[in-house]
Structure 1
């Protein structure tokens, strides 16, 4: 075998190449297949973010039917994040042992079914239980889709394609208010006597937010398993066949023309899927987790977990209250004043009332502002996708976290409502750093521990979402300004911590020391 992985037969004009999976992926190139696969993964991400954040639009208009208090709306909004916290670790392990595609396919279908059931809930308890079960299975796709997307792209284009795929999170924040605007103003109430409910528009919105999962499930039926997973489990011929499919789609050539005929077998690859029984499962999880809390990986584990906690707590924590805040601003009558002044005034008005009728209407201006802010949010993902290859992940993280943190503080201090909304929109763009932070984590951790490292950091992010949404609900009732100062400050502290990350050149040197052909996970 020559240094470049070629075996030449004397007297034979043809050259049979044996290569690593990463070399084969480079040979498959980049093109239409990768773009279509990214779009499919993007639909999954869009469904995930719509399912997670839909309650921000549903609960304000369901509060009369379900008899919700502000505190109940807070913990109901946290249910999707709680489900992900409790189950993403398990889904990550299951995807590493049983495959990415079957886990996503099964989880999305079941999640959509439970969403349909939740739309018929007669009261708060049944609604909370069914939403929790739907979110448990939604967690399956959210824990795996980044891995699945990354593993279909070669090293040269991986960061860029993951960033573009992540932009569908931003697209989801545009589609969600569009669908809400289309459905919630409808005036219908179909009685269902058996359940003693009126089927009103908000119930239809619960079902509509599950549609992306249905579409993605159909598309996934025609998609193959990840070549990295197949290669990691000694299914080399199947892995090579997937790479040939990528090659054929990109180059518009026959699979038989693919120059690489076999993949290098690696005895070091994990055989986690051969483990059976509860003891084996626990042992497998422990072996992949304990080293993350020992040196030299401990500092990186703490850093990635803390940064993701801060980003998720801010972007998701505020977003679930976003429609409520915008609705208060849209309904405000009077001169220019700050966000918190408007919220405090509406709270004082409600507190002084003796018997106020339940109001579950939503101003159409709320949907318009949500769409505009979602477009800004989406554009930031796309801009980051174009810049990441040229500037690097570390400078973008530092600049974006610092700027969004300052804008969060400025949104409270601004006396003009229009300026406050603009600053608030920029404040929400810190969410564009989630995918970047995952991409950095992929390079920080050795191959064997990457999947669990990403699962842990994302799990801490979901903890942040849950804590953030509840804390912000408390701050909106007690001290509105403190919420903006606290979460804006957290983003600035995150930016400071990101200065400790290795630079682009250091990460490249690290990659040359650690061969990439052993990678079994790429959850960027």
Structure 2
């Protein structure tokens, strides 16, 4: 009788006390894990049971060159103008066009990539999209004239937009609910890393007077060609790094491919816990969809009907609102970021001692000197490095507060704060260091603004529409960047204040509009 009582107590103890290792990794007790295996599990339960560990760390490391690529694809040309303007006979309009053309390629391909990735899968788009972008970046590095550089930069943007939109969804679909928003915001720190290292690379290469003549002087390699070739390695490395990674299990479940999804969960569990895959507690997954549109041409044929709900209530309302907000965010953020390297170089010249004097229109008789290269040194690029590091603090704070304060509150606050600092630039920018400090703070909050919006967008749409929604979201952001670059240049003719006050107003208005978005903090993926 006594032994029987002890056995009952032992069984109760085993059920109540969580297995130490599994509890630390997954946050679930052993008894709960046993119950999970008895019935089909949904995606959120299955991904939570895989834990957090080596797989997630490896995934984050693979995204590092992807975010570096995003900066180099869109920003590398803004660093070469001081060296290439005479080699390629570039006018100011040409420079603005080259700054915007990568975004033009992204805009033109947004819906195409969204369609393909939501029907054919995430992984193959990540691999081939990044590799294709890298190849066109190499072709851009070999350019000898404006036309060739323009075409190759357009194609690079065309190919790059898809895989980068997929990347955001891919990250979200491989993390459990309470980590999802934080991971997306914190991965934006990789933007900071890129914004620090890209100007350092530019300083190391562009300050050199390298020139190599090939084929009897018919083909000349300049230092700016070498710089573009170096930045082209980032998307190549990114594409290769995604080869060993699995397909998104959420995508597989949405296509009715539950057996494949379960194997992915098991492999993630094995990497995270160092336990055999057959120890994974979940044996069955909820059927989200049949395999009627699971693969190949069948998926493509059903694609148009599948995406139609994105442009109908209730999704279309949130799509239009967040796209409007994001276009304004990028209107301010990227316009200021793309022009800052050139502004920093111009403020350092003898004739420009302040921000307003640097961007003042040149007199007519100075047009003949437009081809004279601007001499740059370490200080010029160091300013860009400091501007890039400013996001570290805000991303760290944002990652900690996003779940406590709410995503839309963080986004709105950052939009308003960044607008304030941009508005103060022409008023207080009396010297290069003041401009650098205020630009650093303004861009730091604007970057967190954009990262918060990306996190919100991920949660607004179900899996079958997520990448299509993100592609549209990013497309409108690119449109904002292109229009911002053009409007900024046009407003300079009216003085120092109009361009900066316009940017500040757009950031502030879209920041306030964030309060109209739904609350998606800790929302589970549909």
| 1:329 alignment partner, one of 347, 350, 353 | 347
Paired residues of 1:122 and 1:195 also in contact (CA < 8 A): no
- Are 1:422 and 2:437 counterparts? yes
Residue range with higher mean Cα deviation, 266-275 or 95-104:
266-275
- Are 1:68 and 2:90 counterparts? yes
Q: Secondary structure at the match of 1:78?
A: helix
Q: In structure 2, what is the equivalent of residue 444 of structure 1?
A: 460
Q: Which has the larger radius of gyration?
A: 2
- Are 1:196 and 2:214 counterparts? no
Q: Secondary structure at the match of 1:321?
A: helix
Paired residues of 1:312 and 1:464 also in contact (CA < 8 A): yes
Q: How does 1:132-171 map to 2 (within 5 A)?
A: 132-171=154-193
Paired residues of 1:108 and 1:137 also in contact (CA < 8 A): yes
Q: Distance in 2 between matches of 1:91 and 1:348?
A: 42
Distance 1:360 1:326, change over 3 A: closer
Q: Distance in 1 between matches of 2:216 and 2:153?
A: 21
Distance 1:451 1:208, change over 3 A: same
Q: Distance in 1 between matches of 2:301 and 2:44?
A: 33
| 2:397 alignment partner, one of 369, 372, 383 | 383
Pairwise CA distance, 1:100: 0.8
- Are 1:24 and 2:42 counterparts? no
Pairwise CA distance, 1:487: 0.6
Q: Distance in 2 between matches of 1:394 and 1:45?
A: 23
Task: Give the alignment's TM-score, normalised by structure 2.
Answer: 0.87
Pairwise CA distance, 1:97: 1.3
| 1:173 alignment partner, one of 195, 200, 204 | 195
- Are 1:495 and 2:511 counterparts? yes
Paired residues of 1:63 and 1:360 also in contact (CA < 8 A): no
Q: In structure 1, what is the equivalent of residue 321 of structure 2?
A: 303
| 2:332 alignment partner, one of 308, 311, 314 | 314
Pairwise CA distance, 1:341: 2.4
Map Cα deviations across residues 39-79 of structure 1 (whole Å, 9 max, x no partner): 21232122122111111112332111111100111111111
Paired residues of 1:310 and 1:464 also in contact (CA < 8 A): yes
Q: In structure 2, what is the equivalent of residue 40 of structure 1?
A: 62
- Are 1:395 and 2:413 counterparts? no
Q: In structure 2, what is the equivalent of residue 98 of structure 1?
A: 120
Residue range with higher mean Cα deviation, 188-197 or 361-370:
188-197
| 1:229 alignment partner, one of 251, 258, 271 | 251
| 2:450 alignment partner, one of 419, 434, 437 | 434
Paired residues of 1:331 and 1:363 also in contact (CA < 8 A): no
Pairwise CA distance, 1:438: 2.2
Map Cα deviations across residues 93-136 of structure 1 (whole Å, 9 max, x no partner): 11111111111111111211111122222211111111211221
Q: In structure 1, what is the equivalent of residue 382 of structure 2?
A: 368
- Are 1:459 and 2:475 counterparts? yes
Residue range with higher mean Cα deviation, 370-379 or 350-359:
350-359
Q: In structure 1, what is the equivalent of residue 208 of structure 2?
A: 186
What 5-or-longer segments of structure 1 have no aligned partner? 1-7, 520-524
Q: In structure 2, what is the equivalent of residue 212 of structure 1?
A: 234
Pairwise CA distance, 1:390: 2.1
What 5-or-longer segments of structure 2 have no aligned partner? 1-30
Q: In structure 1, what is the equivalent of residue 73 of structure 2?
A: 51
Q: Distance in 2 between matches of 1:269 and 1:405?
A: 48
Q: Distance in 2 between matches of 1:278 and 1:244?
A: 29
Paired residues of 1:288 and 1:452 also in contact (CA < 8 A): no
Pairwise CA distance, 1:421: 2.2
Q: Secondary structure at the match of 2:372?
A: coil
Q: How does 1:397-416 map to 2 (within 5 A)?
A: 397-416=411-430
Residue range with higher mean Cα deviation, 415-424 or 238-247:
415-424
Q: Distance in 2 between matches of 1:409 and 1:166?
A: 25
Q: Distance in 1 between matches of 2:282 and 2:36?
A: 11
Pairwise CA distance, 1:297: 3.7
Distance 1:131 1:167, change over 3 A: same
Q: How does 1:126-137 map to 2 (within 5 A)?
A: 126-137=148-159
Paired residues of 1:30 and 1:250 also in contact (CA < 8 A): yes
- Are 1:248 and 2:262 counterparts? no
Task: Give the alignment's TM-score, normalised by structure 1.
Answer: 0.87
Q: Distance in 1 between matches of 2:507 and 2:457?
A: 18
Map Cα deviations across residues 271-324 of structure 1 (whole Å, 9 max, x no partner): 374655987554444x24431xx4x44432222011100111111122221111
Paired residues of 2:359 and 2:492 also in contact (CA < 8 A): yes
How many residues are treated as equivalent by the alignment? 493
Map Cα deviations across residues 439-495 of structure 1 (whole Å, 9 max, x no partner): 223333455543333222211111001111222223345433211000111111112
Paired residues of 2:37 and 2:284 also in contact (CA < 8 A): no
Map Cα deviations across residues 407-449 of structure 1 (whole Å, 9 max, x no partner): 0000111053232321122222202222211222333345554
Distance 1:300 1:108, change over 3 A: same
Pairwise CA distance, 1:354: 5.2
